[in-house]
Amino acid sequence: MDEGVRTIMLDVLRYHPEQDREPFVQSYEVPFTEEMSVLQGLQHVKDQLDGTLSFRWSCRMAICGSCGVMLQGKPRLACETFLREFYPGRVSVEALAHLPIERDLVVGADDFITKLESIRPYIIPAEPRTLDQGEYLQTPLQRARYEQFSSCI
């Protein structure tokens, strides 16, 4: 690293089931600024240091949940968690707990998705509408009834 550039260590739990018996930790020194997210740190590792690192990401705006990982043992979104929260310490990055690891930080979510779909976690209208009839409207009181269930990410 260039002198004067601040860096932070990412301790990433790695696992390649086709070759590894057990997961192992691999450490990477990455440069960072105050505005860099953990996701950007992982992208730096993949793009500049180790192209074999596997992780999921999509929206980069804390909407989709694809970048969910364990940071310092707690489930967080890598896109909305900043490296500055951990400076000058090290950042422990692991795959989400309680899900099977497919490779590195990528977990298998098939069982989770099946269970999620089985509970139908969406609003089911009493009377279906056509597009011509416009959107469904709700009062603030109606929305308040399910607010807590719609804010999981």
Return d(Cα 60, Cα 67) in angstroms, integer: 8
Architecture of the domain defined by 7-110: Roll (3.10)
In tens, the pLDDT along 4-13 reads 789 999 999 9
Provide the 10 A C-beta neighbour count for residue 90: 14
At 38 the three-state DSSP class reads helix
Alpha helices per DSSP H over 10-150 = 38-44, 110-118, 140-146
In tens, the pLDDT along 32-47 reads 999 999 999 999 999 9
In tens, the pLDDT along 126-141 reads 888 898 999 888 899 9
